[in-house]
Amino acid sequence: MYSPSVLARFVLAALVLAAAPVAAQAEPICDEAPGDRAVRARLTEVRAAIAAHEPDMRHWWSAFLMVHGVLGGVQLTLFVSAPDDGPRADFGMQALSSFLGMATLLISTPPLLGAGGTLDAMPEDDEEDRLVKLASAEGLLRRSADAVSFVRGPLSSLLTTGYGEAASLVLLLAFGRPSASILLAAGSALLGQGRLLLHPWGIRDAWRDYRRRHPDAGCDWSVRPPPALAWSFTPFGAGLGFQLRF
């Protein structure tokens, strides 16, 4: 039997491994804002990457949203029409599991969805507008890549399996339905892990390639640095005055 300290170490190691993909990202090198020609070219790169990968993400999200919704609807219908409490409990927990899976998709919508329309709506009439738009475009690209890394990481896999297993345990312990709980646990794990494995990852690779070409990607050039504190003595009447600028 493992001691509590050993189990705590295992949990800590799992959390470190889950956070590793995010923590390992390098900070951008923000030396000098790119020229307007470079900004235009980089906007074209980001827009092309989003246009290439947004449809795959939309198809994945829509397909699994529909799968969870259809399964939940069928199971809810069977729950209502079940002849006694045993099958009613089985179908009720199955419907709850399906609707929970649907809720996770609705709550954590991928940042890539709608990113193209968001960028198209932003103005780029002058150089400052284009710098602001570049910062937003690169931010969308980075957040989309981070979302893919999280979905395909170990923590997401554990959470996805966990809510299905929790529903099956309720079915087993509260309603005494061992066969149905095993089927629910297996089905939830299969559907959940399949959803994660089929999650499109192309935008993450696009962001990595973009970062290799542009080490300063992610810098917010639209934000001007705060002015430095300066002081001086100036003539004031018959004496001197102290002037502070900030």
pLDDT at 142: 94
Task: Give the domain ranges of the chain.
Answer: 36-221
Q: What is the pTM of this model?
A: 0.73
pLDDT digits (tens, 9 = 90+) for 207-246: 999 999 998 888 776 554 434 444 544 444 444 454 444 4
Mean pLDDT (whole number) for 15-40: 62
Of 113, 112, 116, the residue nearest 43 (C-alpha): 116
Residue carrying the six token digits 């390639």 = 209
31-35, 69-73, 79-83, range with the lowest pLDDT: 31-35
**Rg (alpha carbons) of the chain, rounded to whole number:** 26
| Sign of the torsion angle spanned by Cα atoms 132, 137, 138, 144 | positive
